[in-house]
Structure 1
Amino acid sequence: MNMQTNAAGRFLLGGDLEINRLGFGAMRLPASFGFAGDARDPEEGVAVLRRAVELGVDHIDSAGFYRKGDVRAHDLIRRALHPYDGLVVATKVGPLLGDRGVPEHEAPPERLRELVEQDMEALGVERLDLVNLRVGGLNAPGGMPVAERFAVLAELREEGLIRHLGLSNVDAAQLAEARGIAPVAAVQNKFSLVDAGPADAELLAECERGGIAFVPFFPLGGGLQPLAGAGLDKVAARHGATVQQVALAWLLAHSPVMLPIPGTGSLAHLEENMAAADLDLTEEDLADLRA
């Protein structure tokens, strides 16, 4: 195995799963741009997954609703990597796809067991490593109780169907609410060099205090905000790197609990992303990126 990602260090997820801090997000495997793009060739997805593991990835983030037509992320992961020896596969439940094939509804508590069991069957496992409760759809974090639904997942954890629990798209108050019910191993929120505010910093600090993994989705802006800025360009030029690599390296340098999961359906982009783990940013670099 190429140990590129080890340069970024390792993290003990949930206290018992040691993984490389730079992982892989599976959202773009079924379609070229999330839920809106054209379906990808499944063979390309299988090739990307296998190469990711060769490059040292041992944490893959997926979801049952990551699909485009008949192309499903879970199916590609199972085909490429089952039985997942030494590999942590995370999934998330909560959103339900509407008629347009995009997440439009939130699953009520009584649907969560069904969704968990569907993920277990699709991935071919008897226990899921990490299940994140995705909250609030496409809305900003906060303003929605999580206790009732998180309690259902906590029961499934007690039954042995889930190893660790996480949350996605939440604020500090929702994290506290969930932690009153069961241990939280990971928080998955939108966070990047170009999209991080005071509330994000507060939540990250709470994760640091609790030893909770902070897994930023859209770590490169997700195509919603361009990776741009004089400081970013300056640091990239200094290292002979791409701005995407600098943005990923910034996340790894920003906090020891940060576990970025850049996703792609392209082998070339995968190689580029994984090389970011070897990019050692200096204090001068970090100062330029803050400017």
Structure 2
Amino acid sequence: MNAPTTSLPGGTWTLGDATVTRFGYGAMQLAGPWVMGPPADHDGALAVLHEAVASGITHIDTSDAYGPRVTNELIREALHPYPESLFIATKVGAIRDAQGGWPTARRPQDLREQVHANLRSLGIETLDLVNMRMGDAEGPKSGSLAEAFGTLADLQREGLIRHLGVSNATTEQIAEARGIAPIVCVQNMYNLAHRHDDHLIDTLAADGIAYVPFFPLGGFTPLQSDVLSKVAARLGATPMSVALAWLLRRSPNILLIPGTSSTAHLRENIVGAGLSLSDEDMADLETIGR
């Protein structure tokens, strides 16, 4: 896979055998309300994907469970045949029910079906990256992932998956997964206010493994929001921009996948993530998650 040239904030990171932009794009918001059904503006959704690639983004995060199938099919409609530099990450381990819930589905047959569903909806023969989603909507849950992750490792050996990762996982599950097959990333909840994975991020960075935070802005108390707003006002920026810029500065292995259904918002996120944070800014922001 060719290495991209980009002026996007954060530069690049190597995911397995691919070099991707640290500033990526998460496709979840392209689906309808509650991540169910088609978008209200189909052409607008396609325009966001075109804009992402035109801006130099080479890392798109999706899942066949979004919609379900909606975001994958939009990606295929907008971008297939895919640029050689584009890296598409997906995840398995949960499906959607008629009520919009996310019931777990981690039996070997479930996972095989989900992998093949992602292949079909994206229109490809091999998935760049599959994250094994653990836990539930409330967060990580303890328990072995050996059977589930072993199934993905089997599918990797069969040539259906290039790289593996884990999502919504505990430190113990991450270690267990690494004992079964190499992983290239961990996708967990992390932001300025929720820094429970601080040590994990540093450990993964030392081992060359990416960390992809979801919910980059959320869970702030009013006092914490005041601190974030103060820094943002000092910089003439939005709180979201400051939060994204802080993540890129926090560690070189952090990859961002902020989602949006608006081309204007996508451009704002790119500009915002490129904010230069001073030592004073960083010191103030450090008080939020400590």
Give the TM-score, by structure 2 length. 0.91
Following superposition, the deviation at residue 2 of structure 1 comes to: 9.9
Matched residue type, 1:241 = A
Correspondence for 1:10: 12
Say which SS state the counterpart of residue 183 (structure 1) adopts.
Answer: coil
Correspondence for 2:283: 287
Correspondence 1:50 to 2:47 = no
Quote the Cα distance in structure 2 between the aligned partners of 1:175 and 1:116: 20
Correspondence 1:245 to 2:247 = no
Following superposition, the deviation at residue 10 of structure 1 comes to: 0.8
Say which SS state the counterpart of residue 75 (structure 2) adopts.
Answer: helix
Structure 1 stretches of 4+ moved >6 Å: none
Quote the Cα distance in structure 1 between the aligned partners of 2:119 and 2:139: 29
Percent identical:
46
8 Å CA contact 2:38, 2:67 repeated in 1: no
8 Å CA contact 1:96, 1:103 repeated in 2: yes
Quote the Cα distance in structure 1 between the aligned partners of 2:120 and 2:220: 36
8 Å CA contact 2:189, 2:215 repeated in 1: yes
Quote the Cα distance in structure 2 between the aligned partners of 1:41 and 1:226: 34
8 Å CA contact 2:165, 2:186 repeated in 1: yes
Following superposition, the deviation at residue 234 of structure 1 comes to: 2.4
Quote the Cα distance in structure 2 between the aligned partners of 1:84 and 1:10: 19
Correspondence for 1:74: 72
Correspondence for 1:61: 61
After TM superposition, list the pairs within 5 Å mapping 1:64-143 onto structure 2. Answer: 64-67=64-67, 72-85=70-83, 86-143=85-142
RMSD in angstroms over aligned alpha carbons? 2.1
Quote the Cα distance in structure 1 between the aligned partners of 2:89 and 2:50: 17
Correspondence for 1:190: 189
Following superposition, the deviation at residue 32 of structure 1 comes to: 4.4
8 Å CA contact 1:236, 1:243 repeated in 2: yes
Say which SS state the counterpart of residue 120 (structure 2) adopts.
Answer: helix
Matched residue type, 1:11 = W
Say which SS state the counterpart of residue 165 (structure 1) adopts.
Answer: strand
Say which SS state the counterpart of residue 162 (structure 2) adopts.
Answer: strand
Q: Deviations over 1:115-148 (max 9, x none)?
A: 1111011101111000001011213223121111
Quote the Cα distance in structure 1 between the aligned partners of 2:135 and 2:95: 12
Correspondence 1:217 to 2:219 = no
8 Å CA contact 1:31, 1:67 repeated in 2: yes
CA 1:229–1:107 in 2, change beyond 3 Å: closer, same or farther? same
Correspondence 1:145 to 2:147 = no
CA 1:142–1:113 in 2, change beyond 3 Å: closer, same or farther? same
Quote the Cα distance in structure 2 between the aligned partners of 1:104 and 1:145: 18
Matched residue type, 1:278 = G
Give the TM-score, by structure 1 length. 0.91
Quote the Cα distance in structure 1 between the aligned partners of 2:221 and 2:75: 29
8 Å CA contact 1:9, 1:21 repeated in 2: yes
Following superposition, the deviation at residue 38 of structure 1 comes to: 8.3
8 Å CA contact 2:87, 2:128 repeated in 1: yes
Quote the Cα distance in structure 1 between the aligned partners of 2:117 and 2:225: 43
Correspondence for 2:256: 260
Say which SS state the counterpart of residue 95 (structure 2) adopts.
Answer: strand
Quote the Cα distance in structure 2 between the aligned partners of 1:4 and 1:236: 23
8 Å CA contact 1:127, 1:161 repeated in 2: yes
Matched residue type, 1:29 = L
8 Å CA contact 2:186, 2:211 repeated in 1: yes
Correspondence for 2:231: 235
Quote the Cα distance in structure 2 between the aligned partners of 1:108 and 1:123: 23
Count of residues in Structure 1 that have an aligned counterpart in Structure 2: 282
Higher strand share: 1
